[in-house]
A and B are shown apart, each in its own frame.
Chain A
Amino acid sequence: MTEPRYLNDIKGKFPGTEAVLPEKIKDGIPAFDCPPSLILDIVKYLKAEGFNYLMNLCATDYKDTFEVIYHLSALESKAKITLKVKINREKPELASITPLHPGANWQEREAFDLLGVVFTGHPNLTRILLSCDWEGYPLRKDYSRKPDQYD
């Protein structure tokens, strides 16, 4: 089986993009570490290459950085790809892909709500699952909740 063209192109076209070692990724989907400044361009490029379906978007707190993970799929060729973006934990900002994939809207709001990742260019970046007066971001590893009557 020959490697699809986009897998080589993505590294050539976007400097700083690195393939993630397959030992870490157990699901067999090719994964790339992408620089935060290029994520919008990479998603746009992949969309033109047929990756028209955003399966999933979520974020993880790795204590020293945040990682935002995009799982994209091409419904025609059934190919899948994972994009991983490490962002600064002190200033967690990343371009929103909602203009390209409107389905990312609520998923970005969820990442903002639970982890505090700020997606710039998002049309309505407000809390979605928690109430609007909630303090802190629960899915951060250093989040400590106030003890309640059961503690």
Chain B
Amino acid sequence: MIDNKLKDKDGFETMYLNMGPQHPSTHGVLRLGLVLDGEVIVSAEPDIGYLHRGMEKLAEHRTYQANIAMSDRFDYVTSMNNNFVVALAIEKLLGVEIPKRAHYLRILMAELNRVVNHILLFGFFAMDLGATTALIFGFREREEVLDLFESVTGARLTYNYFRVGGVARDLPEDFIQKTGAFIKLMRKRIKDYDDLVTNNVIFRDRSVGIGKISKEDILAYSLSGPVMRASGIKYDIRKDDTYSVYKEFDFNIPTREDGDCFDRYLLRMLELRESLKIIEQVLVKLEPGEIMAKVPKVIKPPAGEAYIRTESPKGELSVYLVSDGTVNPYRFHLRAPSFINLQILQKILPGVKVADVIAILGSIDIVLGEVDR
């Protein structure tokens, strides 16, 4: 509970403002309890759980493969990346090596999904600051990628593309050519994005210097992903704790120094370019071959446990999986980046203005499906 009897510095009464759960800029059902002194925030407490579906409990009653299908619903914007981490964790317990082509297809899909996530952030963040055009721009390019995903998986949101031991289907014939065309188009569109939003004076006024997060806070609050790198910590699990075959690819880890809203936005725009670079390299490296390893029909990993980390577009997405040798996981814990990144609000919101809350929340990039699970 929030103490709404807090007094401001002159001893006057403060106001308690309920932001959400049904508020367009809270990106879902998040409630922020704000104590205000005029327009300035005295204390803030995020209240979550409105979208809690008990997924960790559900996972204990499902088979391993069914858990990959469920993982689509964690962070429903980046289903491929969720599939990725769950598949990796199960394969680690099983001790399966997957074919080269399956590795490449997985990275191809995960990076395309990263592009989708960052395009959406571009749209939503600008929308939060009052620029509606950017959202339409973002959705226009997202549509291109969703068409690609649809041609491979048959679905546009919950792909369920990964299997234990590989991927579900091979690419359709024209996929490579279409993806090449998309990369070309996207490079041109990023220039438009920069002209429309990044170099926009109003946008910069609203985001530069707002919601700074220091390096110390990043470490203390276990923040990860773009939020971490925007504050000057060069750490990316794809490079520093590498998984799958990411080490074969040549890409940079962009960092920014200030750790304000603008840096967090710009970092994603830089990462978008790096992801396009990775996709390009995958398309060159792809060779015909198997897409599934030999795995038993009924998946029963030997008893044991594993903690598998991956870099999702939002930060460190990890799974702690315990097997007791039966067909269902004994324990399935998801380390959700949105959930842990959201904690920083309590620390950085006091002292900022109400309008900036929306900018800060937008720049941290959360999806409530992943926060509440």
Contact = CB atoms under 8 A, between A and B. Distances in A.
Interface string B344-373: 000100000000000000000000000011
Contact of B335 (A27, A56, A80, A114): A56
B340 interface: yes
A103 B220 contact: yes
Contacts of A10: none
A26 B240 CA distance: 19
Interface stretch (A11-19, A37-45, A125-133): A125-133
Given A55-B318, A56-B320, A27 B92 contact: yes
Nearest to B51: A129
Contacts of B343: 102-103, 105-106
B304 A26 contact: yes
A49 B305 CA distance: 26
A141 to B, nearest CB: 9
Contacts of B101: none
Interface string A112-144: 001000000000000111110000001100000
B308 interface: yes
Contacts of B347: 102
Interface in B51-81: 52, 54, 56-57
Given A55-B316, A131-B49, A106 B339 contact: yes
Contact of A129 (B52, B221, B316): B52
Nearest to B91: A26
Given A102-B220, A103-B222, A24 B335 contact: no
A69 B320 contact: yes
Contacts of A89: none
B300 to A, nearest CB: 14
A25 interface: yes
Contacts of B171: none
Do most interface residues of chain B lie in helix, strand or loop, or is the interface mixed? mixed
B202 interface: no
Interface residues of B, number: 40
A24 B93 contact: no
A105 B333 CA distance: 17
Interface residues of A, number: 35
Interface in B297-353: 303-309, 316, 318, 320, 322, 330-331, 333, 335, 339-340, 342-343, 347
A114 B373 CA distance: 12
A5 interface: no
Contacts of B304: 23-26
A66 B320 CA distance: 16
A96 interface: no
A129 B241 contact: no
Interface string A89-106: 000000000000111111
A56 B57 contact: no
B251 interface: no
Contacts of A104: 222
B233 interface: yes
11 contacts: A24-B305, A27-B92, A53-B222, A58-B335, A75-B233, A78-B240, A102-B343, A103-B221, A128-B49, A129-B373, A138-B54
